[in-house]
Amino acid sequence: MGFRHSLDASSLREYDIRGIVGKTLSVADAFAIGRTFASMLARNGGKTIVVGLDGRLTSPELEEAVVEGALASGANVTRVGRGPTPMIYFAAITLKADGAIMVTGSHNPPAYNGFKMMENGQSFFGDQIRELGALAAAGDVVPQSRGSLRTIDVTNEYVARLLQDYDQGERRLKVVWDSGNSAAGEVLAKLVAKLPGEHILLNAEIDGRFPAHHPDPTIPENLVQLQKTVRDQKADLGIAFDGDADRIGIVDNQGEILWADQILIVLAREILKDRPGATVIADTKASQTLFDEIEKAGGTPLMWKTGHSLMKSKMVETHAPLAGEMSGHIFFADKWYGFDDALYTAVRFLSILSRISIPLSSVREQLPYMTSTPELRFECDDVRKFEVVEEVAKRLRKAGADVLEVDGVRVRTPDGWWLLRASNTQPALVARVEGQDSAALHRLIAALVAQLELSKVAAPDFSKAGV
């Protein structure tokens, strides 16, 4: 067969392929990924692949190699250039491509990079990624036959489609955008130029070194600049993106953070006006308030597993028009294509805000208040992490606790709930706790810590979580 290439096992994640360039990810890996992915498509009758890249310094060389690999398997490749991950998804769907490859390190530090993939408009993940690794190592690819290559620019079409679902109300909004030196760059500039209102752009230049701050809007320290600018400019809100702009962060007019489950409440209320009874999905880390508010708004709440690929699959299965994760991935199948797109989410959110008379801070303050920890990750061996969750689940079942086992264990008590799950992307356990008040929160934390001690696992430092 002539082609055999072993990918570093640590780079083969549940939802994508990702590693440290020069250590666990290389140009040779990129060629092998393109070669093998295109072969897998070919065996399923697929021929066309859309390829894009983010703004990381290593993305151009990896994109070049993955394109060459795909061409070597006979694929017809369409390059759409640099932009946010959702723009590549948009291109793949609207061009009716059989597959898509996005070269991106997402929200990871600058040394990282990787690949997100789609097949026939759906996420390519889990067993498919593991199969890709096995096929590459075995050299089990289609015979080499050069495909075709073309380059197109879809940015204008993408921006036009984003704007199509903007529904302007009476309020003209003043918005601060923190692009975070992300791949949103040029697309965001084109978008805000056509949106009503006043728009202030921070860190708009695409820069893979991320000089302003780490490109992850779920970490409060990364929102400090945005919060200050919103307050100083007396803006109506601030919006932030991660490195490839498929995750969103929002701060209100007072500079206070709206977490993803609070953003989802605002979006769900609006969608459920037109689609009563519809299913709205959120991951197991979301506040109980979200599920209660979905029900109050006439929807059907569904708690599901964390992971953007798993969310998309569940949306298709349940015909849900909206889903979201605490990580800031928000998915619209209402008027949109079902994938996570921070730019599209921003457009829909701004539409809603322009049509209500009260400031966003008032919307936030009217939500039921719960005391919670952020998502806490703590080290645990890749094999041991799953064993720990199962041990905890077994003890809780035996004790007759109220336990949901959708994704790890989520334990419900009159005080609130606590969650323990195994990370799908790193050797770590993930915990989150939410209580009716501070005393309830500390009782729940004590219960979680007791379970970890029984499994001989060091608990995370909850004092660093601000509780």
User: Which amino acids are annotated catalytic?
Assistant: 106
**How far, in Å, CA of 457 to CA of 338, rounded?**
38
Tokens of 297: 């708004």
360 CB-near residues (< 8 Å, 6+ apart): 236, 237, 252, 253, 258, 353
- Quickly list DSSP for 159-205: HHHHHHT----SPPPEEEEE-TT-TTHHHHHHHHHHSSSEEEEES-S
Do 78 and 97 meet the contact criterion of CB atoms below 8 Å apart?
yes
Tokens of 22: 């020069």
Tokens of 151: 């380059």
Do 361 and 282 meet the contact criterion of CB atoms below 8 Å apart?
no
Helix (H) or strand (E) holding 410: strand 409-413
Q: Angle between the 155-164 and 185-194 helix axes, to the nearest 10 degrees?
A: 40
**How far, in Å, CA of 459 to CA of 389, rounded?**
13
Strands (E), 229-374: 237-241, 248-252, 257-258, 279-283, 300-304, 322-324, 330-332, 371-372
Do 322 and 264 meet the contact criterion of CB atoms below 8 Å apart?
yes
Please return the burial class of 298, using the count of CB atoms within 10 Å of its CB with bins 0-12, 13-18 and 19+: middle
The Cβ of residue 366 has, within 10 Å, a number of other Cβ atoms equal to 9
**How far, in Å, CA of 67 to CA of 343, rounded?**
26
Tokens of 268: 């769900």
Give strand pairing partners of 249: 240
Q: What are phi and psi of 433, to 5 degrees?
A: -135, 140
Do 452 and 391 meet the contact criterion of CB atoms below 8 Å apart?
no
